[in-house]
A and B are shown apart, each in its own frame.
Chain A
Amino acid sequence: MSFWTPVGGESMVHSLSPDVCLVHIFTPGHFIVNINETGHQHDQSMLKVHRDICGYCGCCVSVCPEGALELIDAYLCVEKSCTSCGICAKVCPLGALEVLHEK
């Protein structure tokens, strides 16, 4: 079960049930994931890809300990196994990745 909430002018999908594991949010600018491997929401943090900054170089993909990132041509995909650990955001040469902590 999910509903749409506008956040900062963007559309997001929130999962209402911890058993619903797929919460992939597509917006023109961002792709946000806030569900961990087990399908449970954890501390509401999520990885945000600033697509206007991303240089689709794959640096982040190589350091992701979960293998949760994949670069498909010029599009960085974030998979549900992302734990929002922030390693990718640290190494990104351009600053295109950000871990958002939502309360």
Chain B
Amino acid sequence: MKNKYDILVIGGGPAGALAAKTAVEMGLSACLVEKRPAIGAPVRCAEGIGKDALHEFIEPDPKWISAEMTGASIVAPDGFLMKLESGLAGNKVGYILDRKFFDRELVWKAAEAGADIAVKTRASAPIMENGCVKGAKIESCGKVTNVIADVVIAADGVESKFSRWCGIDTTVPVSEIMSSVQYVIADIDIDAHSTVFYLGNEIAPQGYLWVFPKGERSANVGIGISGKKSGEGHRAKDYLDRFVKKTFPCGKPIEYIAGGVSVCRPLKCTVADGLIIAGDAARVVDPLTGGGIYNSMYTGRLAAQVAAECIGKGDVSKNLIKQPDEKLNDIIHSVSKLNLKEFTTLSLLTEIIRVNPKLVLDLGALAASIR
């Protein structure tokens, strides 16, 4: 790692990887730091992505695709199952990724393109000069280095701290965090090519429970409930364990992950002088689907493009403040809509309400939670 880069990227998820890769492809020097010792783990993701969305960034590779989805189902609180085959669900629906390998691939591509990568290395404080972010204090194995950068891209995920240290409030309201848990369960009977969503306040208050196939007989079985519905004795894990015990009594969990998924609107301001925020840190997860991979890659790439443009003009401070932020926000909002369409949850919901109007009552709570 050097002491100076054009762009310093904090976080090695899809947003950070795309930011670093884009930056070097645009002729800038870039370094990506990841606080964890390995890229891609822990996963903290249900790993679903629409086919078209993925294709926009990378050609699918069996190495990091766990399963291909051709349909989706919704199970209503009364057990009513609504199946949507690919035609209805918007053609080729999507993939369930293997994020451990997918994230590695993205970071590897950034490295191959010329970015420096450092793992088990964290940004512990911004370096500020007259209110402008000029780099970060980088800690690695007990050593602290000052790394100077024209632009810092904070892609440090749901637990983002960097932008907060730079004065941007990123706090997610309790009603807009989905408190989540997921098991990877092996040796269970599932439809290996269909995602299943379970709805209902008894199953997942103001959220949903998902079964996303990872192979012929294994799946990501997870749940997200509204933070305001969470509490002692009725946490995400309590609901999920109850469901798993009933639905997959003989299943064998081979992975156990917790997570928080923000379903608020993206940050009002995703930039400051010398700083751009991308991915989960900018709160760009789609509020209806909980999907965030595409939005993260999109905003990561956009952050690097905007940064490159401003560096090219020789003015990262002023130009970064307004115009790119508007651009970023506009695109985040349109992306949010776009992803929704691709992920087709809305069409699923619309369809199920058409078939079983009584469900509106229960879905009302879900809708309220994401408003």
A residues engaging B (CB < 8 A)?
Answer: 55-65, 67, 70-73, 87, 90-95
- The 15 listed contacts between A and B (C-beta, < 8 Å) are A57-B159, A58-B157, A58-B159, A59-B258, A60-B260, A62-B171, A63-B174, A63-B177, A63-B260, A91-B230, A91-B260, A92-B230, A93-B258, A95-B232, A95-B237
- How far does the alpha carbon of A95 sit from the alpha carbon of B159 in the complex, in Å? 17
Contact B256–A57 (Cβ < 8 Å) = no
Contact B161–A59 (Cβ < 8 Å) = no
List the A residue with the shortest CB-CB distance to B227.
Answer: A91
If A73-B37, A92-B230, A95-B235 touch, whether A59 touches B179 (CB-CB below 8 Å) is yes
Which residues of A are found within 8 Å of B230, using beta-carbon distances?
90-93
B307 interfacial contact with A, CB 8 Å: no
Q: Count contacts between A and B, CB distance < 8 Å.
A: 98
Which residues of B are found within 8 Å of A63, using beta-carbon distances?
171-174, 177, 227, 260
Which residues of B are found within 8 Å of A55, using beta-carbon distances?
42, 181, 256-258
- How far does the alpha carbon of A86 sit from the alpha carbon of B232 in the complex, in Å? 12
- How far does the alpha carbon of A62 sit from the alpha carbon of B262 in the complex, in Å? 8
B259 interfacial contact with A, CB 8 Å: yes
If A55-B257, A57-B260, A62-B260 touch, whether A92 touches B179 (CB-CB below 8 Å) is yes
Which residues of B are found within 8 Å of A95, using beta-carbon distances?
232, 235, 237
Which residues of A are found within 8 Å of B256, using beta-carbon distances?
55
Most buried by B among A62, A87, A91: A62
List the A residue with the shortest CB-CB distance to B34.
Answer: A73
Q: Of residues 22 to 53 in B, which have CB atoms within 8 Å of A's CB atoms?
A: 35-37, 42, 44
- Neighbour of A93 across the interface among B164, B171, B173, B236, CB < 8 A: B236
Contact B164–A73 (Cβ < 8 Å) = no
B residues engaging A (CB < 8 A)?
Answer: 35-37, 42, 44, 120, 122, 157-161, 164, 170-174, 177, 179-181, 227, 230-232, 235-237, 256-260, 262
Q: How far is the CB of A67 from the nearest CB of chain B, in Å?
A: 5
- How far does the alpha carbon of A13 sit from the alpha carbon of B180 in the complex, in Å? 34
- How far does the alpha carbon of A55 sit from the alpha carbon of B259 in the complex, in Å? 8
- Neighbour of A58 across the interface among B37, B236, B260, CB < 8 A: B260
Contact B174–A91 (Cβ < 8 Å) = yes
- Neighbour of B177 across the interface among A59, A65, A72, A73, CB < 8 A: A59
Contact A90–B259 (Cβ < 8 Å) = no
Which residues of A are found within 8 Å of B120, using beta-carbon distances?
73
List the A residue with the shortest CB-CB distance to B37.
Answer: A73
Q: How far is the CB of A74 from the nearest CB of chain B, in Å?
A: 8
List the A residue with the shortest CB-CB distance to B226.
Answer: A91
Which residues of B are found within 8 Å of A61, using beta-carbon distances?
158-161, 260
Q: How far is the CB of B238 from the nearest CB of chain A, in Å?
A: 8
Which residues of A are found within 8 Å of B44, using beta-carbon distances?
57-58
Contact A57–B257 (Cβ < 8 Å) = yes
- How far does the alpha carbon of A56 sit from the alpha carbon of B258 in the complex, in Å? 8
Which residues of B are found within 8 Å of A67, using beta-carbon distances?
161, 164, 171
Contact B170–A62 (Cβ < 8 Å) = yes
Contact A62–B158 (Cβ < 8 Å) = yes
- Neighbour of A72 across the interface among B35, B173, B174, CB < 8 A: B35
Contact B161–A94 (Cβ < 8 Å) = no
If A62-B177, A70-B161 touch, whether A92 touches B262 (CB-CB below 8 Å) is no
List the B residue with the shortest CB-CB distance to A98.
Answer: B232
